[in-house]
Amino acid sequence: MNFKLRDYQREAIDSVYDWFTASAGNPLVVVPTGGGKSVIAAEMIREICTRWPDERIMVVTHVKELIRQNYDTLVRSWPEAPAGIYSAGLRRRDTRSRILFAGVQSVFKRADELGHFDIVIVDEAHLVPPKGFGMYQQLLAGLRATSPKVKLIGLTATPYRTDTGRLDEGEGRLFDGVAFECDIIEMIKDGWLCEVTNKGVRAEIDTSAVHIRGGEFCADELEEAAMADGLVEDSVEELIARSADRKSWLIFACGIAHATQICAELTKHGIINASVFGTTPREDRDDRIDAFKRGDITALVNVGVLTTGFDAPGIDLLGLMRPTQSPGLYVQMTGRGLRTADGKADCLVLDFGTNVQRHGPLNAVRPRKPGERVGEPPMKVCGNPDCMALVYAATTICPECGHEFEVARSKPDHDATPDENAILLSGDPSANIQRWEVSRVFYGRHRKPGKPDSLRVAYSSGLTREVSEWVCFEHGGYARVKAEQWWRSRLGQDPIPGDVTTALARIELGEILSTVSVTVDTEGQYPSVKGVLLEDADTFAWRADAEDWQAANPYGVSIGESGDIDYGEIPF
């Protein structure tokens, strides 16, 4: 029985095929926690093995629960799959299976024993360290000795590490770009993920005196700060006071002593709880997790073991009692509450570690580059003690209670607006986001050796500012889907152009809406388009109904020698 894929899961798989058809290098597929990465991997594996019977595939990760989950997902949809497991934790050491699900700890020194592989899928790819370090690098080096052309596909919810930036940037990177990325807001709107809400707390952990080493808080100092006089008692009391009717609490602690004290306080208040650490015996850990999933335990306190690969859809309360400098860890922790479940309306995040303030909303996290200084926190807590909502740092009036903040600086010149749920923003909070009035639009053919042509759309604002986007009518998979969306969003009619030549000819005939302004992210070497404002439909209809479109056209369309189209001034 094959899976009935969600639209975005189908697009993710097609985007990988399209990547390898048109590009060199190794792609990333970025899907939020709860988005079904194991389903994406399973269906892609089944399709590859069906189309190309000689391909051999390894799926590698670091947590035995993920190894088992990925394996079970595949055999559930494809019972006769030629699949095996190599994992000491699962007490299996299959070596000749055509599809091998492996724990990196078990196989990183045994590449020569495992033989040739054509494709390696890395689940939780954000854990692959920089060049020259770690078990993943040693495994891949060993595999390339027998399989020099092995292809690498990374699956992750967070395409960046703690202190070395994005996975597809920098010297020694293993991945060369993102083939597909889901939008968390759209997934919530479509019902694939649940709503996430949050409130500020009073019992915040003070990290001002905690040193940072290797891009993260010093563990001993952090735990000492988290256990300052009365802080654990206050945080647990606040957690309970805000829990209402929530039934499944997952709490992240700074260390074993900290977690033990949290559990003791929960017990004092009659809350059934348990804890799991890296040192917890395997059987005890499994028993406690199973009891938590069944609902026999209300609160599960963990230290660094349930951040990835942990699937408990019923979690409706997250207690972040562990501050982190890692944007990836922050996203992974909060991601534990994104899954949907019967009777679950949303998940409440109580952040005692000020992580939301430090890193910003889940859908707008930007990893810092090595050595980058930390500026003003991107979030702040409402000053009304009865509200304490977390809002974007530039907010002047709280959207929930109307509290007015003192304004110490002028209003930023960007369009980001605070959402009522500050842990998720519908606008981009980056100060690099700007809106440009468009004075000219240039449509032309973009050629790149070894790849299908694409349509280049260049938006000019004034004399010096320009930003481009590329519309891939001639590509397949997700790139083609995005091109279709681009065309239809501009009221372009079917049939959608199948190539750049047709698109240019139909644009010349005035078949699509023109652009009034663009929202641009100016960060980095090249600006990028984040959104567009198009002309109104009435003006478009007037142009389309005119007997002589060229005479009615106010945009000054002309055809260049190369067949490119240049739009003149737009009078809006």
CA 399-400-402 angle, to 5 degrees, is 70
3-state helix, strand, coil in the chain (%, to 5): 30, 20, 50
Token pair for residue 481? 């889907």
Domain 7-182: assigned CATH number: 3.40.50.300
Please give the DSSP secondary-structure letter assigned to residue 474: T
For 174-211, b/e burial (b = at least 16 CB within 10 A) is: bbbbbbbbbebbebbeeebbbbbbbbbbebbbebeebe
Dist. CA 81–CA 70, nearest whole Å:
13
pLDDT tens per residue, range 113-138: 899 999 999 998 887 766 555 788 88
Residue with the two structure tokens 């309360």: 317
**CA nearest neighbour of 478 among 194, 193, 189, 177:** 177
pLDDT of residue 391: 60
Coil, strand or helix at 549: helix
Bridging pattern class, strands 299-302 and 273-276: parallel
Number of neighbouring beta carbons within 10 Å of residue 14: 19
The amino acid at residue 78 is W
pLDDT tens per residue, range 165-179: 778 777 767 888 889
CATH 3.40.50.300 in the chain is located at 7-182, 189-392
Distance, first Cα to last Cα, the chain: 55
pLDDT of residue 1: 61
Close Cβ partners of 215 (under 8 Å, ≥ 6 residues apart): 162, 163, 164, 325, 326, 370
Using left for φ > 0, alpha for ψ between -120 and 50, and beta otherwise, residue 258 falls in alpha
Token pair for residue 132? 């020259």
pLDDT of residue 530: 76
Alpha helices, H only, 322-453: 327-335, 355-359
> Is the distance from CB of 336 to CB of 315 less than 8 angstroms?
yes
Given a cut of 50, the residues of the chain with pLDDT beneath it are 373-376, 407-421, 427-430, 542, 547-572
**CA nearest neighbour of 174 among 136, 119, 143, 215:** 136
Dist. CA 131–CA 113, nearest whole Å:
24
Bridging pattern class, strands 216-217 and 195-199: unpaired
3-state secondary structure string across 379-401: EEECCCCCCCCEEECCCCECCCC
> Is the distance from CB of 355 to CB of 331 less than 8 angstroms?
no
Residue with the two structure tokens 């954000």: 126
pLDDT of residue 437: 84
> Is the distance from CB of 225 to CB of 210 less than 8 angstroms?
yes
pLDDT of residue 162: 54
Beta-bridge partner residues of 381 = 390
The amino acid at residue 113 is E
Token pair for residue 443? 């449509």
Residue with the two structure tokens 């500026």: 375
> Is the distance from CB of 474 to CB of 530 less than 8 angstroms?
no
Please give the DSSP secondary-structure letter assigned to residue 153: E
Using left for φ > 0, alpha for ψ between -120 and 50, and beta otherwise, residue 172 falls in left
Dist. CA 270–CA 281, nearest whole Å:
26
Bridging pattern class, strands 27-30 and 151-156: parallel
Phi then psi for 287, rounded to 5 degrees? -65, -45
Question: CATH assignment of 189-392, given 3.40.30.10, 3.40.50.2300, 3.40.50.620, 3.40.50.300?
Answer: 3.40.50.300
> Is the distance from CB of 125 to CB of 107 less than 8 angstroms?
no
**CA nearest neighbour of 250 among 319, 343, 310:** 319
Please give the DSSP secondary-structure letter assigned to residue 160: B
**CA nearest neighbour of 472 among 445, 505, 440:** 445
Dist. CA 61–CA 112, nearest whole Å:
19
Dist. CA 220–CA 211, nearest whole Å:
10
**CA nearest neighbour of 514 among 544, 490, 483:** 490
Dist. CA 552–CA 539, nearest whole Å:
11
DSSP 305-331: SSSSS---TT--EEEE-S--S-HHHHH
Using left for φ > 0, alpha for ψ between -120 and 50, and beta otherwise, residue 128 falls in beta
**CA nearest neighbour of 195 among 58, 409, 349:** 349
Per the omega criterion (within 30 degrees of 0), is the bond before 497 cis? no
Dist. CA 417–CA 456, nearest whole Å:
30
Computed from CA positions of residues 106, 303, 181, 377, in that sequence, does the dihedral angle turn out positive or negative? negative
